[in-house]
């Protein structure tokens, strides 16, 4: 899957394991390690349906306030929010990562 980052802090966190952005610089090393692993799962997936097979991700398409947003879990507390879009054939193969969210906050 083609993965892009909406802001540079998420890309820095993925590439270097750290960022100066105050929203993400306080994440523990374990959460950052798991974030990198989840992004690698997204990159390895050939299409969005492949994410259903990885049960630990708990992939879901949100409704309501987050309508149109896809979510996979980093761990039981943090989740990765992204928007997916199809290619010319209509198969969803593009993901734009835009936030790491702490669930219930």
Are 10 and 100 in contact, with CB atoms under 8 Å apart?
yes
Using CA of residue 57, residue 52, residue 37, residue 93, what is the dihedral sign? negative
Lowest mean pLDDT among 42-46, 59-63, 77-81, 100-104: 100-104
Domain of residue 38 covers 2-102
Q: What is the pTM of this model?
A: 0.91
Supply the CATH number for residue 90's domain. 3.30.2310.20
pLDDT tens, residue by residue, 10-48: 999 999 999 999 999 999 999 999 999 999 999 999 888
Residue for token pair 């980052």: 5
Q: How many structural domains comprise the chain?
A: 1
How many CB atoms are located within 10 Å of the residue 104 CB? 5
Cβ-contact 47, 84 below 8 angstroms: no
Torsions phi, psi for 73 (to 5 deg): -90, 135
């Amino acid at each position: 899957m083609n993965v892009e980052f909406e802001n540079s802090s998420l890309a820095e966190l993925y590439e270097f394991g750290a960022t100066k952005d105050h929203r993400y610089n306080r994440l523990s090393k374990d959460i950052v390690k798991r974030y990198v692993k989840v992004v690698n799962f997204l990159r390895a997936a050939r299409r969005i349906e492949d994410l259903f097979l990885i049960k630990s991700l708990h992939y879901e398409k949100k409704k309501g306030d987050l309508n149109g947003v896809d979510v996979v879990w980093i761990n039981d507390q943090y989740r990765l929010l992204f928007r997916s879009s199809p290619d010319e054939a209509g198969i969803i193969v593009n993901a734009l990562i835009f936030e790491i969210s702490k669930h219930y906050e």
